[in-house]
Amino acid sequence: MLPTEEGPSDPSDIIAQWRQIASDTALLDRDKARGAVNQLYKVNGLKPPLNIVFFDSPGACLFARQLVKWYAADYRPRLTQRIRHDLWQDRWPQYEARLADHVKLPLTPHFSQRLKQAFWEQVSEFDQQHLTLPFDDQLRHVFKDSLHHSIVKTGRSQLRRDGSWPRTASDTAPLHRMEIQKADLIQMRSQFSSSLWQPFYFLGGQETSWLAEYFLLQQGGLAFSNDLKSKAEAYANYAQHCGWALFYKNWAFVSDRPCAIQRDGNGRFHGENGPALLFADGFGVAYCWHGVRVPSWMIREKQKITVARIRRERNIELRRCMAEIYGLGRYIREIGAELIDDDPEWGKLWRIPWGEGVFELIVEVKNSTPEPDGEIKTYFLSVHPQLCPIPDVEEGETDFGAPQKLTARNAVASTFGLRGEDYQPEIET
C-alpha cells in the first residue's frame, strides 16, 4: 500500500516503507506490473504501450531491445510458428555472439538460456507490424523529469512561504533521523544510475528517494495539484510493482526485481564477493564496498590489489576501499603508517596518509570476547582527526564534541560519543 491518507503518517514510518520497497526481492506480479505500466502511460496522456515484455534483469532488457531489431529483420510473415521456432533455434548462436560483442563481454550459459526462452515466449506471437514499431527516445522527461521538477518547485515555494513543515514534529530528533534515512534512499539511487553500458532512467524500487520526499511533503500538509498528485501516485505505483524499465512510446521492457540485495551492517550497499544487486539470470549490477561504487575487478579479482596499486589510485575514496579489501592491518604495516599511541588496554592509534595532504586516524582494537573457534578478532575504527566525540544522531545531535588528546583510549571513547575520562565500559562486545 502506498503512503496515502490511509497509510503511514509519521515521517520515519514513510521512510521505512519506502526503504522496504527499495529492498523488495520478491518476484513481480506481472498482472499488477502491467497495470502499473498502463496507468503510468495513461495519466501522462499517452496510450498504453502496445508491447509490454518482462525479463529477469536490466541487462536482459537491454539485450532484448537489441534482439527485437535483429529478429524483426529476419521475420518472414508466411512461415508457420513451428518453422519460425526452428529458425530461431538456428539463428540464436549468431544473435548470442552479436550480443556478446555488443558489450564486449561473454554471456554466461545461464543468462543466455533464460534470455532466449523469455524472448521467444513473449515475442514469437508478435506480428511484423508490432515487431517493427520504432524505438523513440525513452520517456524520461514525460514520466519523471517534469514530475520531479514540479514536486521540487511546488514544495520549495510553499516551504519558503511558511517554513513550518513538518507541522507534526514536536522536536528535532525525528527530523534528523528522517534526513539520515532519506539520504540513504538517495544513495540507493545514485549507486545504480550509471551502472550499465547504456543508461536506465527508470529504476523501480531503487529510486524511491524523491518519491518518499513527495509523500513526506504531502503528509506535512503541502498542497499539490490533482494532476501532479495523480502522476506522482502513478509513478509510485510503478516503483512499487515493477523493477527497472525501458519505456518507449510503443514498447515497455520491464525487469524483474533483484533476487538478492547485499548491504553492510549500516545498510549501505556492500558486496564482498559479488555485485550489490543480483538478478535471477545471474546478471549483477553495481559493485560496492560499504556504499562506495568500485570497479568490478576490485571485488572479483582481489589478488590484483597491491600496495603500489593502492598508492597509484588517484581517487582517495577508492584508495581507501582498496586498502580495506587488501586488509587495513596488512596495509598499515606494509606502508609504515605512523603509530601515535600504543596502549595495551585500549589498542593502537594510527595515522594513515591517503595522499594530497589527507590523513586518517584509525584506532586498532581487539574484541575482548573470543569467537566460537577461539579467534580474537581485530577491528579498525575510523575516528575524528581530533578525536572529537561523535554526535548521537538518534537523539538529533549534529555537532561533534570538543577535541581530545590523541590517545587510543580517547579514540575508542569518541566512537561512543564520549570523552576518554568518561568512558568506563563494564562489558565490551
Model confidence, pTM? 0.79
Residues 6+ apart with CB under 8 A from 91: 74
* Contact call for residues 88 and 125 (beta carbons, < 8 A): no
**Alpha-carbon distance 49 to 135, whole Å?**
11
CA gap 233, 235 in Å, rounded: 5
As given in the structure block, the three cell numbers for residue 406 are 590523541
pLDDT of 374-417, one tens digit each?
Answer: 778 888 898 999 999 988 766 666 788 899 999 999 999 999 99
pLDDT in tens, the chain (429 residues): 565 545 556 777 887 888 888 889 999 999 999 999 999 999 999 999 999 999 999 999 999 999 998 888 888 888 888 888 888 999 999 999 999 887 777 789 999 999 999 999 999 888 888 888 888 788 888 888 888 878 877 776 665 555 544 444 333 334 444 444 445 555 555 555 555 656 778 888 887 777 887 888 887 777 888 999 999 999 999 999 999 999 999 999 999 999 999 988 877 889 999 988 899 999 988 788 998 889 889 999 999 999 999 988 988 889 999 999 999 999 999 998 999 999 999 999 999 988 777 888 999 998 877 777 777 888 889 899 999 998 876 666 678 889 999 999 999 999 999 999 998 876 454
Pairing of strands 251-255, 51-55: parallel
Cβ atoms of 32 and 241 within 8 Å: the answer is yes
Neighbours of 110 (CB within 10 A): 13
Q: pLDDT, tens digit, for every residue of 260-270? A: 999 888 778 89
| DSSP 3-state of 210 | helix
What CA–CA distance (Å, rounded) separates 169 from 298? 44
Q: Are 258 and 251 spatial neighbours (Cβ–Cβ below 8 Å)? A: no
Q: CB 383: neighbour CB atoms within 10 A?
A: 23
| Inter-CA distances, 351 with 41, 61, 364, Å | 56, 47, 11
What sign for the dihedral angle of Cα 263, 269, 270, 273? Answer: positive
What angle, 0 to 180 degrees and rounded to 10, lies between the N-to-C axes of helices 146-162 and 209-219? 40
C-alpha angle 166/178/263, rounded to 5°? 160
